[in-house]
Chains A and B, each alone.
Chain A
């Protein structure tokens, strides 16, 4: 009898309540880290394509008949005016400066330069950078980008791109681009001082980037991949053991949704992105 009483007391004492203080959180997908890196890489490519697109649109304006200049300016540079000082063109209200060659950007061998004198804190954020655009053929260019003044100096971008004009404009974009090449970068986000990842990427099957509308301070479009493949390697300058591999395969893309496949350290999952 006494043993039963003691046992009851002990059981009542220690089984009266649950011991879980906080529920854990299990993510829905296993390749979320890879998606984060692909989004950042896609934004880096988009920033460079946006810069190239500005130069190409300026060339359209410069080579247009006088009667069409206002129309072109309204369509391609909404919210800004294009002004020239000592041969350097500026989009008013932005830190974007364009240095044209003496020749049209469509003339093989011509070299145009674009400088983002300050970061564009827009979507996606674009770092301060110098971009060189060299025409290599009919609607084909080679882009090389560097950032000599960056807080973290790991930034390279070298890509060949071919363009075709946007036919039905939903925004101010001038061209759709197919790219090949690669580069590397340390992420540039709002807390870029604390970044230690070094992300290298190589377009393994030509990727086509289409303009996507967005309402932002400096731009009303950015670029998203609709097809192609990209291989990405993630390293960490503070931890040499980090060597993660990501393969991105765009399965289909349209203005309403993009389907793609991410393979991250051997795990493959499908993802879907809708428009913003």
Chain B
């Protein structure tokens, strides 16, 4: 528990540092002649949906080396119910970023992931309960745009932040078990991202792994389009 708290503090410090760094970096931007033209740095908001996000109930994290066979009592209760399909909302994300250089955007992403499944009675096939987990991630992100055109941009990105998961498991004998909370890092690496559009744009990210999903798609809106930069 103490180790978890220490880890959480470290991650929190990293997130705060990254956020401050984003502000500082933005402060380093050359605004010469910028305000005279009433140009603000380009900013955008994105709404996206990610497939297969990594959350803290990922099976790999629950691996157990205990290979003792289950007791007959456990077998009896587990046969009284069965688990239905495990549904996921996927990673529902909202992001905001600002362009601090032609090739660099800095921002943060807020992500929600909900997983749930119904528990059915073996005898009656009726739903007797539901187990679910809800995760929330805050991920400061650096986006490196390596192809810039008026309509198309291509980029890679990296994000590091914190997340929490509230899990309510089903326990034998009916009724939900005690909900518990887990903290951990939120990491997202994107190999290839593409956005198509000007003010309103569509985007997709592949070759990704992390808490935002392995494949992400969404729409975005550039709040302050820096048309001057499109022409460079």
Q: Which residues of A contact B (CB under 8 A)?
A: 2, 5-6, 9-10, 12-14, 16-17, 19-27, 30-33, 36-37, 40, 187, 189-192, 194-197, 234, 236, 239, 241-242, 264-267
Interface assignment of B2: CB less than 8 Å from any CB of chain A: no
CB–CB B217/A190 < 8 A: no
- Residue in contact with A33 in the complex, picked from B52, B122, B219, CB distance below 8 Å: B122
CB–CB A36/B217 < 8 A: no
CB–CB A30/B83 < 8 A: no
**Hey, which chain A residues are within 8 Å of B123, CB to CB?**
30-31, 264-267
Q: Which residues of B contact A (CB under 8 A)?
A: 48-49, 51-52, 68-77, 79-80, 82-90, 115, 117-118, 120, 122-125, 173, 200, 202, 215, 217-219
Q: Chain A contact residues: over half helix, strand or loop, or mixed?
A: mixed
Beyond A22-B85, A191-B71, whether A36 also contacts B76 by CB under 8 A is: yes
**Hey, which chain B residues are within 8 Å of A40, CB to CB?**
72
- Residue in contact with A196 in the complex, picked from B73, B80, B117, CB distance below 8 Å: B73
CB–CB A187/B122 < 8 A: no
**Hey, which chain A residues are within 8 Å of B120, CB to CB?**
24, 26
Can you list the 10 inter-chain pairs with the closest CB atoms, starting with the nearest? A24-B84, A187-B72, A22-B86, A191-B71, A33-B79, A194-B71, A21-B86, A24-B85, A9-B219, A32-B79
CB–CB B122/A32 < 8 A: yes
Q: In the complex, what's the smallest C-beta–C-beta distance from B145 to chain A, in angstroms?
A: 20
Q: Identify the closest chain A residue to B69 (Cβ).
A: A190
Q: In the complex, what's the smallest C-beta–C-beta distance from A16 to chain B, in angstroms?
A: 6
CB–CB A36/B75 < 8 A: yes
Known: A22-B86, A191-B74. 10 other contacts (CB 8 A): A2-B200, A12-B202, A17-B90, A21-B87, A22-B117, A24-B83, A33-B76, A33-B80, A190-B69, A242-B173
